[in-house]
Structure formats: C-alpha cells, structure tokens
Structure 1
C-alpha cells in the first residue's frame, strides 16, 4: 500500500484484533502524561495536517456562533459553541489515522485522509458518529427546555442583556446552575462512551457497541484519573474558544493524537 495515496480499507482491519476481545485496563497518570507527550510529538511530525484539521474545526465553531447572531439568538451562542465541541472525537478521526501511521513507521500524507473519513459513512464509525450527534441534539434540546422553563424564551436585544438576566436574576442564576449541571452530565456521558471508541473502530473491525462498552469500562475502571483527564480536556477546549476558537488550531490536533496513544496504552486484546 502506498503512503502517497493513503488508500486505507474502511476499517483498517487487523486480523488478530478482529478475533480478539478488547480488555480495558487501569489507567495511570503516566498513561496520560505519556500519551500527551507522544501526542505533541505527532503534531510536531505532521504540523500541516494537524493545523488543517484544527482550522476546519475553528471555522466550524466560528460559523455556528455567527449563525446564532444572524438569527437574532445570540444568547444561545455559548451553549451552541459548547455543544459543537462535543463533535471533537469524530472531527479528530483523521488525526487518529495520522498517529496510527506514524506509530507504524510510515509517513502520513494529507491526500486521502478526507477520503478515509468519507469511507467510514457505511461502517461502524458512522453509527458511533450518530451516537455523538444524537447526544449533541439532546444537549441543544436541554438548553431550549431550560430556557423555556426559567426564562420564558423571551427575546433579548443583545448578548449583554441576556448575560445581565443570567447573573442578576434568581431565575437566571438557577438556569446557569441547572444548565451547567445537566450539560456536565451529557459531557461525561459522551466522554465515557467515546474516549477510546473512535480510535478503536478505526484500528479494528469491532462493532460500535463493543467499542462504547470498552470505552465506558476504561472510564469507570479508573474514574479519578479519567474524570480528571476529561476535566483537563474541557478546560483546554474552553480556553481554546477565546478568542474566536483560534486555540483549536493547536489543541484539537494535539488532543486528537493524544487520544490515539491513550487508546493504545489502555486497551489490549486477548484471543477469544
């Protein structure tokens, strides 16, 4: 197979792993720091690819935010932007492939990466992407429901007026508390079922349900380390949103590469 063409089968089959049972092992702090180190190195080895994927995600974040202002709903720009970040695991699919090739001692090329992502539309990764998008829809439904319950879905002239309502009224403060609490639940749920699911599906021909279960076991088997890692990711992504999502140029590719290496460290396979 030629590196220049980057023609990879839809699920990049591995005969041994296809016949094996995935095992989620305990995650250590060294697994996190080591994965992050190699994630940074992968970005340095293929910076153009990383910056390209980061730029697409940055532009997407700007677009959804501007859309909220265009339809005179600037007050949902923040939750909409946060919900958009939930698509990160799928957006990083091409980055997992870059790390997989670097790990195999090959030279990844930009040509073919988007083709690879398009080829997943009929595979298990497509079903996993559906799960992510479904959770994002639930996220936005939650926002609209809480707005209706506590603020009555009334119009706001500017984002500043909406912010004043949030921070200066009892209903606004309650909306903030419940909104972030319920939002945190969806974020944790998505993190638990997807933290290693996408790289596993790219690396094997396992089904998406098995991948989600394995990912969930990784998180529940080491809750303190993994929740801490999830909180760090959240903090990094939130910081990357200011200003204008520009930080995603670097943080998205680094976190994408890191996720691949974390998967390789914490998931092993044993023969059935």
Structure 2
C-alpha cells in the first residue's frame, strides 16, 4: 500500500517557472490531451463531473421551492466558476499520466484533500468573491431594468426579457458586465490554479503569473477561454448532464495548457 509521501510525490516545486508564449496549436494540443486523459480514466472524470450535475439539480430544486426559477440562468452560469477546485483531482490525474506515475484513487483524493494545507485554499476566497459579485450584479440589474415588471412563471419571465425594451436592456448590460467578470476570473485562475496545485508559491504570485500569461498570449488564451465558456454553456442545456464530460475534459486541458505556458515540458 502506498503511503501519503508516495501519493503526493512530485509536488512541492518552488517558485514560478519561466513563461512561454502560447500558440493556437498549444490550445488545440491541450484540448486533445485533455480528451485523451478523460478517455484513459473516465471513472474519475464522471465522478468529478457528477458533483456539478448533482449541484445543478440541487440549485434548481431550491429555486423552484422559493419561487424564483428564473434565477437558474445566472446561478447555472456562475456555478461552474467553482469548477477549478474540483478540477484539482483532474490536474493530479494529468500530472501523474505525464510523469508515468500510477493513477490511483487514494493518490488522487489525497492530493485533493492536501490542498487544504496549501495556498490553493486562499483562491477559494477570490473565486467566491467574484461569484457573489456576479450574483448580486444580476439582482441589481434585475431591479433596475425589471423591478416594476411582474411574472409568476418561467415562461412569463422569458416573454418579458425577450419582448420588452427593459428586457433587452437587462440582457445587453448583463451580458457586458458578465463578460467582464468572466474575463477577470479566467485571467486570474487559468494558470494560477494548476500552478498552485503543483508548486509552492503564494496565491498572489500565482494570480499575477496567470494574468501575465494571458497578456503575453492574449489571442490563444482568450480563445481557450471562449471555448471553455461556450462548451460549458452547451453542457448546461441537457439538464446539466453535459457537465459529466465537458468539465473533466476542460479540467485536464487546463492542466496541459498550464504546462505549455508556464512550466518546463
């Protein structure tokens, strides 16, 4: 039986690696590597993706209970923003495969729980803050644009949003504000989270490094962010079930993109 030292082998590298320029080919290759990692260990992927499917069902049940089913849109969009923390297990699978280490249930879960003792935990505050800003700005815009409208059902809400000037304003401003918040979140986490899962650096340094990578290669990195956003939204449509596959593949792909951008290959 392996002990914790073996399970956590390969971690604890200190400092920030040299940054590389990311290309479109790197993004494509990372997505392909992510798909291969998922196919190699689908049970892990379905397990971690299943956490979000169940979370989506719980959110929908809660909103129906309080009579606010329309809130499923901002919550469903914002909920996967917390995905990178579940993705720690996916990062570990990709890391082990890249280093030829055995992928074991004990080892992967040990690494997930080990993050409680490391800087990745501080990133939870950053992500949760942005998530709550997202939710409150939706409610603020709702009050500003639709505060004097009344609706008692999902169909009524959709009708008001799509057929009234107030609804169009709500969608337009909400999309702009949401896009900005998504850009901030993506830029601060796309490299920092896998880096913190692998290396001993403080979370502020990791955030700065992540932003630096995006600024160094804006078109490929933002292209990857666009793919992540679109794939996640499409995965939400079939009653969250698409997240079972999409989130694991994107988690693995993020690790490989990090390795291409900010870590020796």
Q: What's the TM-score, normalizing by structure 2?
A: 0.93
Aligned twin of 1:75: 70
Structure 2: any 5+ residue segments left out of the alignment? none
Aligned twin of 1:7: 7
- Contact 1:5 / 1:112 at 8 angstroms: preserved in 2? no
The number of aligned residues is 264
Q: Distance in 2 between the 1:153 and 1:123 partners?
A: 47
Residue 106 (structure 2) aligned to one of 107, 111, 132: 111
1:163-178 alignment to 2 at 5 Å? Answer: 163-178=158-173
Structure 1: any 5+ residue segments left out of the alignment? none
Aligned twin of 1:86: 81
1:160-239 alignment to 2 at 5 Å? Answer: 160-239=155-234
- Contact 2:78 / 2:131 at 8 angstroms: preserved in 1? yes
Shift of residue 225 of structure 1? 1.4
Shift of residue 168 of structure 1? 1.0
- Deviation string 1:177-206 (CA, Å, 9 cap, x unpaired) is 001110111111000000011110111101
Aligned twin of 2:53: 58
Shift of residue 99 of structure 1? 0.7
Aligned twin of 1:257: 252
Q: Distance in 1 between the 2:3 and 2:171 partners?
A: 49
- Deviation string 1:48-91 (CA, Å, 9 cap, x unpaired) is 11111111111112221222121101111111100102112222
Q: Distance in 1 between the 2:258 and 2:33 partners?
A: 12
Shift of residue 154 of structure 1? 5.6
- Contact 1:5 / 1:111 at 8 angstroms: preserved in 2? no
Structure 2 residue 125 is matched with structure 1 residue 130? yes
Q: Distance in 2 between the 1:125 and 1:182 partners?
A: 27
Structure 2 residue 151 is matched with structure 1 residue 156? yes
Q: What's the TM-score, normalizing by structure 1?
A: 0.91
Q: Distance in 1 between the 2:88 and 2:148 partners?
A: 37
- Contact 1:125 / 1:202 at 8 angstroms: preserved in 2? yes
Identify if the C-alpha distance between structure 1 residues 103 and 193 changes in structure 2 by more than 3 Å, giving closer, same or farther: same
Q: Distance in 2 between the 1:119 and 1:201 partners?
A: 12
Q: How large is the Cα RMSD of the aligned pairs?
A: 2.0
